[in-house]
Amino acid sequence: GAVVSQHPSWVICKSGTSVKIECRSLDFQATTMFWYRQFPKQSLMLMATSNEGSKATYEQGVEKDKFLINHASLTLSTLTVTSAHPEDSSFYICSATPRVISGYTFGSGTRLTVV
Amino acid sequence: GNSVTQMEGPVTLSEEAFLTINCTYTATGYPSLFWYVQYPGEGLQLLLKATKADDKGSNKGFEATYRKETTSFHLEKGSVQVSDSAVYFCALSGRFGGGSQGNLIFGKGTKLSVKP
C-alpha cells in the first residue's frame, strides 16, 4: 500500500532558528501533498497544499514566509519553519495519496518544540 | 462552508461495550467520507472509508455507513477492546475546486478510552 515517510519524528529547537521537516512518498508518486498542523486536543488544520514543480497553496491565515514549502520532486515535499517561536510548537503531519478515492496516507508526524 | 461535526469526547467505555461515535457533515457535491484513528504518539491511520451514499466502510470490527439523507457517517463497533483506545477523526474529501482539491476536512476528534 501507499507509504508516506515523515522525518524527523520529533525535534527541539531554539527560538529564532529554522527547522526542516521532510515528507516522502515511498512507493508512489505524489504530485500533491498536504501539510497539516495539530494543536493539543484539537483537530488537524490544513496549512497548505504542496504542488510538485510549482508554488504551494496556503490556507487563509497561514504565513507563507514563515512556513516555506518546497515540492521539488514527485516523492518529496519539505516544510521549513523559519525563525521558529514557542507558539510554533505543534504536531505537523503531511499526507499524500496516489488516488483520492483510495484515501489519504499520513506520515507519522513531527512533534516540534521550540524553546 | 464544508464542515464535519463529531460528538465531543472523551468517551470512556468498559471492554466489550458497544461504541458509537457520531459524525455529521455539511458539504456541496458528493464527498468521500473517512474515519481516521490516531493512537497515542503516532500519526493518523485510515480506519475505513465510503465513497458514495449507502456505502458501508468496515475494518477491524468498526463500521460506518454513508447516509446522505441524514448527512451522517457514524462510527460503530460492537465490542471494544483496550487496544482501541485512541483518538478518532471523521473527515470528508471532495473536489471543492481551486488549489485545495482533494484536501481533507476533519472533525475535532473524539478521544476513546477503553478500560479493562
Q: What is the pLDDT along chain A (115 residues), one digit of tens a residue?
A: 778 999 999 999 999 999 999 999 998 888 889 999 988 777 788 899 888 888 899 988 999 999 999 998 999 999 999 999 999 999 999 998 776 666 678 898 999 999 9
Distance in angstroms (rounded) separating the CA atoms of residues A38 and A42:
6
Distance in angstroms (rounded) separating the CA atoms of residues A85 and B54:
47
Residue of B3, B35, B100 best to disrupt the A interface, most CBs of A under 10 A: B100
Residue contact B44–A44, C-beta within 8 A? yes
User: For residue B54, what pLDDT is reported?
Assistant: 95
Half-sphere exposure of B59 toward its Cβ, with a 13 Å CA cutoff? Answer: 12
Distance in angstroms (rounded) separating the CA atoms of residues B104 and B3:
10
Residue of A43, A59, A97 best to disrupt the B interface, most CBs of B under 10 A: A43
Q: What percent of chain B has pLDDT over 70?
A: 92
User: For residue B98, what pLDDT is reported?
Assistant: 36
Distance in angstroms (rounded) separating the CA atoms of residues B53 and B50:
8
Mean pLDDT of chain B: 89
User: For residue B69, what pLDDT is reported?
Assistant: 93
Distance in angstroms (rounded) separating the CA atoms of residues B114 and B87:
12
User: For residue B100, what pLDDT is reported?
Assistant: 44
Does pLDDT of B15 surpass 60?
yes
Higher-confidence residue of A40 and B31: namely B31
Three cell numbers at A57? Answer: 497553496
Q: Which residues of A touch B107 (CB under 8 A)?
A: 43
Residue among A109, A111, A93, A96 at smallest CA distance from A29:
A96
> How far apart are the CA of A102 and the nearest CA of chain B, in angstroms?
8
User: For residue B9, what pLDDT is reported?
Assistant: 84
Does pLDDT of B51 surpass 90?
no
Residue among A60, A86, A2 at smallest CA distance from B100:
A60
The minimal CB distance from B43 to the residues A32, A51, A106 is found for A106
Residue contact B99–A103, C-beta within 8 A? no
Chain B interface includes A89 (CB < 8 A): no
Per-residue pLDDT reduced to its tens digit, B94-110: 654 333 445 788 898 99
Residue among B72, B14, B38 at smallest CA distance from A107:
B38
Q: Which residues of B touch A93 (CB under 8 A)?
A: 43-44
Higher-confidence residue of B44 and A19: namely A19
> How far apart are the CA of B79 and the nearest CA of chain A, in angstroms?
26
Chain B interface includes A34 (CB < 8 A): yes
Does pLDDT of B73 surpass 50?
yes
Distance in angstroms (rounded) separating the CA atoms of residues B27 and A80:
32
Q: How many CB atoms lie within 10 A of CB B29?
A: 9
User: For residue B99, what pLDDT is reported?
Assistant: 37
